[in-house]
Amino acid sequence: MSATAGAERTAAESWTRERIREDEIAKYRPGGRDFIDAGAIEAALAAAATPDAGRVREILDKSRRVETIEPAELAALIRVEDPALWDEMRQAAADIKRQVYDNRIVTFAPLYLGNRCVNNCLYCGLRSANDRMRRRVLTQEEIRGECEVLAGRIGHKRLIIVFGEHPSSGIDYMEDAIRTIYDVKVKARVGWGQIRRVNVNAPPLRVDELRRLKESGLGTYQVFQETYHPATYARVHPSGFKAHFPWRLYAMHRALEAGIDDVGIGALFGLYDWRFELMGLLAHARELERAFGLGPHTISFPRLEPAENAPYVQETRWAVSDADMEKIVVLIRLAVPYTGMILTARENAAMRRRLIRLGVTQTDASSRIGIGAYRDGEGGQREDGQQFLLGDTRCLDDVVRELAQMGYITSFCTAGYRCGRTGECIMDLLRSGQEGRFCKLNAVITFREWLDDFGSPATCAAGEPIIAREIGEIRAQMPKTFPAFQKVYERTAAGERDLYF
């Protein structure tokens, strides 16, 4: 090892040791016990009997009231075997999504800012022991260049920016990156391109760092537990500060304590039994509701994908089938009916079409996860430069057109976050069904804006009937609001930008 490499390793080890503050998690662990009780989850799954139709329908009625279900109720739904009952559950999931979020799908893009990492997660291409990975961290100027492509050529309004867990991308770098991204403004066909919502997928941070992140303009703060099964967690995270299960488990507690309104949780399906992971996600949502009065803004459900020099991906006995993946999506929607559900480009195009109809609210498009891959224009994927391999790299225009052909409107709205409809406020609106009304208005306005600025002729042709249908529904469902909406819509069609209710 060279002197430079040795010094970098020493600095990384020191940084890792300083990350964890036991006092910032002890307050949430009475008696040193976590809210994830593996024995209790296993017992609940084992005790659940196959429910009859009446029991299933009782639980579905609770979900339709936008109430988080009980662990025993989720365990019962997991045990359903009757294909006809599963059809009812699928329909209920789709109906609840429409009830809470209306007929819209939000799109975003991932932007990986670096692939240096102190952790050694056995399933991840970025793990520290992988000497085949080309490592780099984007400069602020390179971040600007990536966003000029994302906002100016493609037309994205939302990003999820992803940071490696490494001192080179600590809190100072995170703050600078967010400010750089918001500063980019690029001329489009009619108006301009600009990122209006920056969500963050980052390491578990300290409370003081989380406060700084909020002040920098953070949208949603995501930390995925990966697996809620403690023994599996320890096995697949042998070193690095990610090896500390409770520090990661209470990341959302610290974020909410720091004043961040919207938090996102998730599990990486394929590390352990998907049934256990579902129960873990529900336990996490219920714990946040208990401790803070609001649950997760979003739940993600990525599936394990091939990654460079990560043999665990091939060795796992818990690989999730396509049929079980459908069940996972349905059960998340039924278990936590108010939450946003994020489907990513890990899945291939055919699978995404299958899953969208089951309760999904957000999906990415034009996705590239190599470092600097948007500006470089690399159409392909390089295993030695990215965390895992994507299943769907279609461009945003193609995805928007397909969604329109499926009957969905793509929403580029970020108004709720800038109007204060976040945190407890948005939870109340979601549970009551009122948020969908705001979303419907703003979805039409922002879809009009995107089609005029970025849509191809084929996508515009597919989108116009969707806009006409949605406007008709607004006129019928919100007659008092319609005149004000019509004025804003006409101003947008005339070239004004970033108008919203």
Closest CA to 465 of 406, 416, 396, 423: 406
Q: If DSSP codes are grouped into helix, strand and coil, which group holds residue 160?
A: strand
The answer to whether 279 and 46 have CB atoms below 8 angstroms apart is no
The chain-wide mean pLDDT, for the chain, equals 92
Torsion on CA atoms 246, 45, 237, 385, rounded to nearest 10? -120
Neighbours of 1 (CB within 10 A): 8
Which domains are present in the chain? 92-432 (3.20.20.70), 435-493 (no CATH)
182/199 Cα distance (integer angstroms): 12
Confidence label for 285 from pLDDT (cuts 50, 70 and 90): very high
pLDDT given at position 296: 97
45/42 Cα distance (integer angstroms): 5
Confidence label for 201 from pLDDT (cuts 50, 70 and 90): very high
Closest CA to 207 of 11, 33, 26: 26
- Least confident among 52-61, 141-150, 237-246: 237-246
429/294 Cα distance (integer angstroms): 12
Q: Which residues contact 165 (CB under 8 A, 6 or more apart)?
A: 117, 118, 119, 203, 240, 241, 242
Closest CA to 484 of 450, 452, 437, 427: 437
Q: What percent of the chain has pLDDT over 70?
A: 92
Q: Using DSSP bridges, classify how beta strands 197-201 and 158-162 pair: parallel, antiparallel or unpaired.
A: parallel
- Which amino acid type is present at position 40? A
Q: Which residues contact 389 (CB under 8 A, 6 or more apart)?
A: 305, 306, 307, 381, 383
Quick check: 241 pLDDT over 90?
Answer: no
pLDDT given at position 308: 84
Residue 361: phi, psi to the nearest 5?
-120, -20
* Residue that wins the pLDDT comparison between 132 and 287: 287
The answer to whether 446 and 411 have CB atoms below 8 angstroms apart is yes
Closest CA to 486 of 501, 497, 498: 501
Quick check: 16 pLDDT over 90?
Answer: no
Sign, Cα dihedral of 269, 275, 280, 285:
positive
Quick check: 126 pLDDT over 60?
Answer: yes
Encode burial over 458-480: b for 16+ CB neighbours within 10 A, e otherwise.
ebbebbeebbeebbeebeeeeee
pTM for this entry: 0.94
What integer is the mean pLDDT of 367-373? 94
Give tens-digit pLDDT for 386-395.
Answer: 888 899 999 9
What integer is the mean pLDDT of 165-194? 96
Alpha carbon 408 to its chain centroid, in Å, reads 19
Q: If DSSP codes are grouped into helix, strand and coil, which group holds residue 151?
A: helix
Quick check: 5 pLDDT over 70?
Answer: no
Q: If DSSP codes are grouped into helix, strand and coil, which group holds residue 220?
A: strand
Quick check: 1 pLDDT over 80?
Answer: no
pLDDT given at position 307: 85
Quick check: 500 pLDDT over 70?
Answer: yes
pLDDT given at position 352: 97
The answer to whether 80 and 89 have CB atoms below 8 angstroms apart is yes
Give tens-digit pLDDT for 408-465.
Answer: 999 998 875 555 555 565 556 556 556 556 689 999 999 999 999 999 999 999 999 9
